[in-house]
Amino acid sequence: MRRNTAGYSFLARNNTKRDNLLAKVDFLATTKHTVAGTFSWNQERVDRNDQGNDYSTAPKVYTDTSRPLVSLNWRSAPGPRLTNELRGGFFFSPTQFITDEEFGSAIVTNFVFSNPLNTFRNQGRYTDTYSLQDNASFTTGRHQFQFGYQYQGIRANPYNEAATIPTYNIGIGTGNPAISAAQLPGISSNDLTAANNLFASLAGYITSYTQNFQVKDRTSGFVAGQPSVRNYSLNNHAVYFQDNWKVRPRLTLNVGVRWDYWSPVDERDSLFLLPVLGSGQSAETALLNPVGTLDFAGRSAGRPFYKRDLNNFAPNAGLAWDIFGDGKTSLRMGYSISYVNDEMITSIGNSVGTNDGLTSTSQRTNLSARASSLPQVVVPAFKVPRTFADNNALNSQAALGMPDPNLVTPYVQPCNIGIQREVKGFVVEARYVGNHGTKLWRAFDFNQIDINSNGFLDDFKRAVNNATLAQAAGRGFQPAYNAAVPGSQQLPVFARLASGGLLTNATIVNLIRQNAPGELANTYVINRLQGNVNFYANSNALGTNLMTNYSNSTYNALQFDVRRQVRSGLFLQANYSYSKVLSDSLGIRSRGLKRFWTRTTPRSSAPAPHST
């Protein structure tokens, strides 16, 4: 065995394979009935040599997407004035990252040589969409009535097997004898480290292990080897009616209404935790309550993520008018309301997934073991219901999240008005196009850092002043009180922090130098150095995110279009748009009402200072 000090690598295959199949059938049963069907299958397999860590010429990890689509259509015309079309089908769209590696009961890694085992584990998602609709048209006199029913069902199934097999790390632990410098006279420190790493690899010394644990269901507790699996569902039911009314030969009106029902996003097995609301308690109050409780949520647990929204009536109206009756000038305008899927599964999944408790990592360090006799991994304790304090005890950066129980379906209001004129063979059109998004979803963090009411900001200013005076006196940038420096002041709030706020620590001093009191306070919290100073309303959560209907958006555009059909068959077109978009929900750090800002993941932190 030789160490690969030259950094040699092997060429690995990098293929992309695509297969496509399309089949169609059309059947004319009678003059009044036709049936059509479509089957489409597309598969793409991509080698992922970027995930290789061994010397395999054919990558063990690949991306696989096999996407079937089936569509059936039955069109009937029972009479000369009535037609009906029934459509249905499904589309499966999986995205999978698959490994061909064969795993045993454990993974041993961190050798000085390349591990022949590729540690990447299967992960991906299945997204299945089902559709059914029945659309009818009935004509009588000057009216053409259109009406029908439409359904769409979405099922999303993300899964991840990462770290579910125990991983043991090779190394020199506290109980594993290491090679000493005395045993190799004259050896450099770098070479001694390399020698010990090689020694640990050859001896099979185990110094630590880690393994992720997931729940299988609400009663299983943590199960070894169980991947993270969730099964989301979202359904849309809609009925509509529209009248296309030819009021005059030169004027046509379109009026109608549609009722939409978007079911609350749900997880089939209720494998999410949400704060428990007390009687009459608001979601904001529950999130800011330090002694709150988390419990299973979802329809099967009797606690839907949010209430049903049943009053989604959406009118629409439009007209087309031949102004002068010569067929050369027309005015068109329209307005409608449409209830929309505002990334519902992604948004709700992110919100409810903020709450810890259904995933846990078992870790141990400084082991004294050998690869020939691997230590047993300790299964973490499982507890649900669990308090906010339980989560905070396991993770100082634990956050809380939940959808507003009264969350409603967002909607958009598109509108347009345009005039069109034929001029010497050219068709010239000018129009206004607008769109207004209403009650769009957005998450707010209500648990903002507090550096005022506890006196910390005033003490921070005194610390900056102390450091400035000390630096002017030639003592360096020293924020702590120093009686030998004229004007230096006591810091009563810092004195209540652990170790007096560690005012000689490089990370702490640098944040004071940068005049960053908020980030400094946050650094104390995530490193559990806040003592008895309270920086957050909910002291057991770093962030408390509530998904609400706060946001809106507007789009306004002036559009010009010129086109002409040339006799030779050439079609010419030119257009120009002047538009503006405004929204308060673009980006996760957009400012909103009062001092709240959007955040759906825990804050990043400064490097952790040491308490000793």
User: pLDDT at position 7, please?
Assistant: 63
Mean of all residue pLDDT scores within the chain: 92
State the pairing for strand pair 107-109/167-170. Answer: parallel
CA distances 102 to 60, 122, 137, 167, 184, Å, are 10, 11, 58, 15, 40
Q: 121: phi > 0 → left, psi -120 to 50 → alpha, else beta; which?
A: beta
pLDDT digit string (tens) for 197-217? Answer: 999 999 999 999 999 999 999
- In one-letter notation, the amino acid at residue 254 is N
Helices (H), 438-589: 456-472, 506-513, 517-526
Strand partners, 273: 296
Cβ contact 88:128 at 8 Å: no
Residues counted in the chain: 612
Token couple for 364: 């141990």
Residue that the structure tokens 């009563």 belong to:
492
**Burial class of residue 104 (count of CB atoms within 10 Å of its CB; 0-12, 13-18, 19+):** exposed
Strand ranges inside 298-398, DSSP E: 313-322, 329-336, 338-339, 359-364, 369-370, 386-387
d(CA 421, CA 431): 12
Token couple for 238: 């809609």
Q: DSSP letters along 390-441, please?
A: HHHHH-TT-EEEEE-TT----EEEEEEEEEEEEETTEEEEEEEEEEEEEEEE
- Tell me phi and psi for residue 479, to 5 degrees: -70, -25
State the pLDDT confidence band at 4, using cuts at 50, 70 and 90.
low
User: pLDDT at position 589, please?
Assistant: 40
* Comparison of pLDDT for 461 and 607, the residue scoring more: 461
* Comparison of pLDDT for 436 and 55, the residue scoring more: 436
Token couple for 522: 């946050």
pLDDT digit string (tens) for 557-591? Answer: 999 999 998 877 788 999 999 999 999 876 444 33
Mean pLDDT of 444-454: 96
Q: Say if pTM beats, i.e. exceeds, 0.85.
A: yes
d(CA 383, CA 386): 6
- Sequence spans of domains, the chain: 16-359+368-417, 456-526
Smallest Cα–Cα separation from 102: which of 118, 90, 79?
118
Cβ contact 516:461 at 8 Å: no
pLDDT digit string (tens) for 293-314? Answer: 999 999 999 999 999 999 999 9
Q: How many CB atoms lie within 10 A of CB 55?
A: 12
State the pLDDT confidence band at 50, using cuts at 50, 70 and 90.
confident
Cβ contact 306:406 at 8 Å: yes
Mean pLDDT of 344-370: 95
CA distances 226 to 126, 165, 213, 376, 523, Å, are 18, 9, 7, 17, 34
Token couple for 234: 């979202």
Q: Give the lowest-confidence range in 41-45, 472-476, 501-505, 603-607.
A: 603-607
- In one-letter notation, the amino acid at residue 67 is R
User: pLDDT at position 175, please?
Assistant: 78
Of the chain, the percentage scoring pLDDT greater than 90 comes to 86
d(CA 397, CA 391): 9
User: What letter would DSSP give residue 405?
Assistant: T
pLDDT digit string (tens) for 464-506? Answer: 999 999 999 999 999 999 999 999 999 999 999 999 999 999 9
d(CA 414, CA 436): 6
Token couple for 319: 């007209």
CA distances 36 to 21, 33, 62, 135, Å, are 17, 10, 36, 16
**Burial class of residue 399 (count of CB atoms within 10 Å of its CB; 0-12, 13-18, 19+):** buried
Is 90 exceeded by the pLDDT of residue 174?
no
d(CA 30, CA 104): 62
User: pLDDT at position 375, please?
Assistant: 94
